[in-house]
């Protein structure tokens, strides 16, 4: 029972469980294939903040071409109030490799629904919440038709509010997104990225992501993705506990003994579901 976790094999992870969401500048089509081959659970080609206004059309064309030529990815599109949103949804709605869109600067549920409908009512929308207004409307956004997951645009949120990046300062917006996601019956939200190249800091901040109840994290470089995947996956200790609890529960005829059994049963089943999805094993199991 003390064997290390198995290597996290590259496999297709369902987007509702995706841990690492790798942002890739749409101005760098030469990196699209590399990103797709990385450990990222989800690749997000960015035609919004990563692209200057003068290059939007060219970047959108490159993304569309790559998606039509066999590439598969999400795309972060411009916000509904921008001059580029309509062109984004019009060009992308026919892209065969489009897995979904991440809608920048979402502040109202209607923006999610308008995007979803303009994309033909079949493309999932991750609502990227980046402002005080968006955080306060998070439940409305989560309940909107077409909403798939919520994501935290932490950098723009701090710019909007003047709040620091400290864990304590960011606890409120993170908690709001977690609670809103639950109210909207969505998977756990996606946390903002860690800026910089320090893996210890990335590991620490990813642990905060997990402690807050968030189940994904934006990544800025491919080398961040395996760290995020590891931290957000169930730990060896978690899997050992869940397996032992379920084994014992079955052995006693699945009889509930006290008020703590049902919450622990739900947690154990969730851990085992994630362990299977992420190919996390313990020796001999």
Q: Indicate the domain borders of the chain.
A: 20-232, 236-277
How does residue 152 score in pLDDT terms, banded at 50, 70 and 90? very high
Q: Provide, rounded to the nearest whole percent, the portion of the chain with pLDDT above 90.
A: 78
CB 34 within 8 A of CB 42: no
pLDDT of residue 11: 64
Query: Could you identify the residue written with the tokens 């059309």?
Result: 57
Per-residue exposure over 49-67, b if at least 16 CB sit within 10 Å of its own CB, e if not: bbbeeeebeebbebbbebb
Angle between helices 225-232 and 199-211 (to 10 degrees): 40
How many residues are listed for the chain in this entry? 285
Least confident of 159-173, 175-189, 269-283: 269-283
Q: Which helix (H) or strand (E) holds 128?
A: strand 125-129
- Would you say residue 122 has pLDDT above 60? yes
Q: Exposed, middle or buried by CB within 10 Å (0-12, 13-18, 19+), for 38?
A: buried
- Would you say residue 281 has pLDDT above 80? no
pLDDT tens for residues 79-117?
999 999 999 999 999 999 999 999 999 999 999 999 999
How does residue 249 score in pLDDT terms, banded at 50, 70 and 90? confident
pTM of the full structure: 0.91
In sign, the C-alpha dihedral spanning 247, 248, 250, 254 is negative
pLDDT tens for residues 41-67?
999 999 999 999 999 999 999 999 999
- DSSP characters for 61-123? HHHHHHHHTT--EEEEEPPTTSSSHHHHHHHHTT-TTEEEEEETT--SHHHHHHHHHHTTS-S
Mean pLDDT in residue range 33-46: 98
Structure tokens at 126: 């991750």
- Between CA 130 and CA 105 the distance in angstroms is 5
Domain 20-232 matching CATH 3.20.20.60: the answer reads: yes
Three-class DSSP category at 33: helix
CB 125 within 8 A of CB 115: yes
- DSSP characters for 68-84? HTT--EEEEEPPTTSSS
- Between CA 194 and CA 218 the distance in angstroms is 8
pLDDT of residue 192: 98
- Between CA 136 and CA 19 the distance in angstroms is 25
């Amino acid at each position: 029972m003390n064997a290390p976790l198995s290597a996290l094999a590259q496999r297709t992870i369902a987007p509702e469980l995706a841990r690492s969401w790798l942002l890739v500048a749409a101005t760098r089509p030469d990196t699209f294939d590399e990103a797709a081959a990385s450990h990222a659970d989800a690749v997000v080609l960015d035609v919004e903040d990563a692209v200057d206004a003068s290059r939007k059309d060219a970047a959108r064309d490159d993304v569309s071409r790559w998606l039509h030529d066999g590439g598969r990815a999400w795309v972060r599109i411009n916000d509904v109030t921008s001059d580029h949103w309509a062109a984004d949804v019009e060009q992308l709605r026919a892209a065969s490799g489009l897995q979904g869109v991440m809608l920048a600067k979402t502040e109202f549920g209607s923006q999610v629904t308008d995007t979803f409908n303009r994309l033909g009512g079949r493309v999932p929308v991750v609502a990227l919440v980046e402002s005080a207004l968006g955080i306060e409307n998070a439940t409305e956004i989560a309940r909107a038709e077409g909403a798939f997951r919520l994501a935290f645009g932490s950098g723009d949120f701090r710019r909007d509010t003047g709040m620091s990046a400290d864990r304590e300062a960011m606890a409120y917006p993170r908690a709001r997104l977690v609670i809103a996601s639950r109210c909207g019956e969505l998977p756990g939200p996606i946390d903002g990225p860690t800026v910089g190249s320090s893996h210890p800091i990335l590991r620490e901040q990813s642990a905060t992501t997990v402690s807050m109840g968030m189940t994904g994290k934006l990544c800025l470089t491919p080398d961040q993705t395996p760290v995020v995947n590891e931290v957000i996956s169930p730990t060896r200790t978690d899997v050992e506990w869940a397996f032992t609890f379920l084994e014992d529960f079955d052995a006693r005829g699945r009889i509930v003994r006290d008020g703590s059994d049902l919450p622990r049963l739900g947690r154990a089943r969730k851990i085992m579901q994630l362990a299977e999805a992420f190919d996390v094993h313990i020796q001999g199991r």
